Amino acid sequence: MAAAIWPVVVPLALALAAFLWPRGTRLLAGIGSAAVVAAVAALAARVAAGGPLRYAVGGWPAPAGITLAVDGLGTVFLAVTALVGVALTVYAMRYFRPEAGAPASAEGSFWPLWWGLWAGLNGLFVTGDAFNAYVALEIVGLTAVALVALARQADAVRAALRYLLVSLVGSLLFLLGVALLYGRFGVLDLGLLAGLMVAGPLPAVALAVMTAGLVLKTALFPLHFWLPPAHGQAPAPVSAALSALVIKAGLYLLLRFWFGVFEPLDRVAGTWLLAGLGAVAVVWGSFQALAAERLKLLVAYSTVAQVGYLFLAFPLLADPATAVLGREAVLYLALAHALAKAAAFMAAGTLLWAVGTDRIDDLHNVLPSFPLTTAAFALAGVSLIGLPPTGGFVGKWMLLEGMIAAGSWAGPAVVAVGTFLAAGYVFRVLVQAFRAEGEPGELRPVHRRPGPALEWSALALALAALGMGFLAPVLEPVLGAAGAAI
């Protein structure tokens, strides 16, 4: 079905058009985001009506040709990327306006890279070929590094260079695993690999090196060292995209390979190792967020903690008795995190953009001047904490159900501690926002007015994270069906 290529072709064409026609980037942003959403919606409708799709590019079937494969899991990741991508496009159209104080060339550089990143993500979610998964992963990594460097400050450039090194190492480890698989089985198609896979030393080594590369890109503790500087120093739209979408690329491939291609291997010990690292990430990232002095750095360390919850579900996925709950939990948490974390970074970026600082101690009394931005951060924070009725609460509830069904009590203890610590760093910011200094009713001085584009786009994603809780009866069976592809 040729519908599988359009979510990749459209943003690639937009990246080229934005590079060749820099004066038309705003027009392209409006039309282009609608076109990408339409392409994703058409593909999702095809999958919903007829089941998984396979498309041989150029008419050459596997193993000689490249195959695109789209199922429920890929469609879910395509959809959330489209939703967050539209909000970030609207946000960036205002954020990067030259008169708003952005560097003169920042807007012209942002749009080709942004469309390239979107194309790489979509390509990753529709590929059915291991080598092309590497190609898409590399596109995502290189465009993300260049986007971080758009801040043009010394700290941002250092963070981008560190991110570049990490991205290249992670990609090369993944490619090494792909080469080992090709040398052993002679195919790259994921479906054929899954059918040929047998337990043995070489497949186990391939799984280990691919996992190391993907865990590095996903920033699981202790390989998270690159994430806080990169996410904290990047421009706000870039920080939101990195946290909400880019790290999900590694998670998506881990789910595909661990619980699809490498199904015949004994992975129980590995899943518990990843879950243990996830537990440490939850606690370590939360403590670092509590100690952070800058709001964007707090949100970045929160990402380290939230990534940990995703890996807590891996032992559930490997156990047939809890696999269904594990699938629903990991997808619900991933989607709720994407929406809430994008909203939190956008709100933090708006405050930095308008007030001139994101030092938490300097953000007192921002509520009267920025009620919508404060509301966006509060709603996003409530979802990250996991309070009802948000999507974060539903995801954590499913995770706890699976852990209890598996007879694990250490996992619920980690979730409880992480929830308590998350409440601490979220309410630390909100207390400052409500704390007034000076005369009663005095508004905080504002350097620049953000306008509705910055505030409403963040609030829309925060409300979507909240809406995931109310829509749980509808979304749960959808995500359950999508999770069956894991």
| Low pLDDT (below 70) residues in the chain | 1, 58-59, 62, 64-65, 98-107, 436-448, 485-486
Please report the pLDDT score of residue 444 as a whole number: 52
Whole-model pTM: value is 0.91
- Rounded Cα–Cα distance for residues 130 and 196 (Å): 14
Please report the pLDDT score of residue 123 as a whole number: 92
Please report the pLDDT score of residue 81 as a whole number: 95
Please report the pLDDT score of residue 51 as a whole number: 81
Give me the residue spans of the domains in the chain: 1-266, 269-486
Please report the pLDDT score of residue 424 as a whole number: 93
Please report the pLDDT score of residue 445 as a whole number: 53
Bridge partners (DSSP) listed for residue 55: 68
